[in-house]
Chain A
């Protein structure tokens, strides 16, 4: 017991220095003006950007939904394949993550550009060119591409842990494939869904690189806004902190709602369906 405690000590120090203190600083900055006096102006100022917040949450939610819809069947398939081939498949899922994040997103730029590779192919096939770059769709695509492994991995790990005999018991009691999925597999995989959704939604909502590279100037997200307050032309760390604080609270609320969902799933999962 004592040993475990002392082993956790370095992490405790790390947490205090790099998580608690910065968070406290964000709160302090959010409630003060440039001269360090207490003020609520920053928070009031955040209201002007409500459209940006809505867009961020909307695109983040869309990316999360697409990741879930695409990631669940894949994770399900991988969990069902022979143990020997599973690891290879999971490695394929993680393979893009070995490449630099910026590089990956740049690659999408050259693919999606009006004179990019995809449009070349379309033209070659005699189809009309499509405007893809600098649209909300491109931003969602970028988010899905970058964050879907974080959806697949927790889903995969939960799905492989489902005891085969529980599935057989459901079949044995008269459930066909669809019923087994809806009443057993899906409710039992809810913890994986929750953690996958969290791990995609949170970074997607607060991203700024993806929207800047694939969304152009018109699809500004909260992340871009915060970035601008600290490093950009509109230098105002106090407002930036206030925006961060509001974003943090919004994400916490979203997660709270999700976890509520999970508790329902854990105790009376059948009802959820």
Chain B
């Protein structure tokens, strides 16, 4: 939480000054599409892409540019089109309309084997009839490299993924994590300009997943290769990426750095998908003054229409618990769950269930006051997602698991 809090502070400071200009620029550009990095020339860009499978639209009017050398994550729920986006760049899906550019050159019709991108597949897709060495050597041999070059490079790659000494192992007998490393070594041995990663950590257990996240990030920084990473795991996206592209229903919802995405969600979907959020109906009374839960609050947002209906986002960790003194919002604790670092409590405030994360224990049934600082209130324009997220009245851990499938998305 320390990291998030300090990043928030920084983002807030920026937001008031130069950051505001940048955000405004982003918003403007986003109307016609999005660029993950404004300063750099995109290495891959997608223009006006449309794809549908069996009459079902997967992507529509899709525009995206990937900055060179960045770690960019496509984040979204199953079926949002993120894997399809990756497969279009890899050359496995031919879009119905629109074009793909690589370093400014059109590659829309180029078959996969002629593209300077490599993919790490969801289930690794190692060659079962080849050993570790021959798997990693495959790409170089196809490109006609000499066996001496191949040997040196395979050694280097296996060293990078900590698999030295595994050269002659049967890939079918390796653990999931080891197979994943072979897949990484195999893809990087080809020295791609862009590496596409399709939920590569989805099949690993939690501990291994965390280790691999660190390792992947390290490899990306060492090699300077552009990584385009697909995941439905928001925590993974926040901790690894330079830029996150949040997608839903075949459209980009928001592009930004992890703190941007977390602190300044563009709509209720992003606020709900990234982390936990209390999303309340509110009315923007004037600049820096918003009304919700029957009270007026000072905030840091402005440039809304007078009395514009808005969505108000308050993160569970930003709510402070105070004695019920009549001055603050008051509520009754309904449910307390111990989460290790903090308690997660559900507080009933006039029928609306808030989620609050606190390090201090509160008894279920206790009456408490809730205090929120002005800079912890985030105001958003209403969107098509308004009203669909943000109330924890039906919340349970089990349901949350159910509604976010862990097994990746079906194509």
Contact = CB atoms under 8 A, between A and B. Distances in A.
Answer yes or no: are A and B bound together in one complex: yes
B134 A174 contact: no
Interface string A195-206: 000000000000
A172 B129 contact: no
Interface string A147-178: 00000000000000001011011111111100
Given A163-B125, A188-B128, A266-B129, A172 B138 contact: no
Interface stretch (A32-40, A66-74, A114-122, A179-187): A179-187
Please give me the 10 A-B residue pairs with the lowest Cβ-Cβ distance, nearest first: A173-B139, A165-B125, A269-B129, A169-B125, A171-B112, A174-B142, A187-B129, A172-B119, A175-B142, A165-B121
A168 B130 contact: no
Contacts of B121: 165, 168-169
Nearest to A188: B129
A171 B111 contact: yes
A163 to B, nearest CB: 6
A166 B125 contact: yes
18 contacts: A163-B123, A165-B122, A168-B119, A169-B126, A170-B127, A170-B138, A171-B113, A172-B91, A172-B112, A173-B139, A175-B142, A183-B138, A183-B142, A188-B128, A188-B129, A267-B170, A268-B134, A269-B129
Interface of A: 163, 165-166, 168-176, 179, 183-184, 187-188, 190, 265-270
B384 interface: no
Residue with the highest number of chain A CB atoms closer than 10 Å, among B111, B113, B121, B134 = B113
B85 to A, nearest CB: 16
B119 A169 contact: yes
A183 B117 CA distance: 21
B186 interface: yes
B212 to A, nearest CB: 19
A266 B130 CA distance: 8
Contacts of A267: 131, 170
A152 B118 CA distance: 34
Given A163-B123, A174-B142, 19 more contacts: A165-B121, A166-B126, A166-B128, A170-B127, A170-B142, A171-B111, A171-B112, A172-B90, A172-B119, A173-B118, A175-B113, A176-B111, A176-B113, A184-B127, A188-B129, A268-B130, A269-B130, A270-B129, A270-B130
Residue with the highest number of chain A CB atoms closer than 10 Å, among B114, B123, B142 = B142
A166 B122 CA distance: 11
Nearest to B122: A165
B113 A172 contact: yes
Nearest to B138: A173
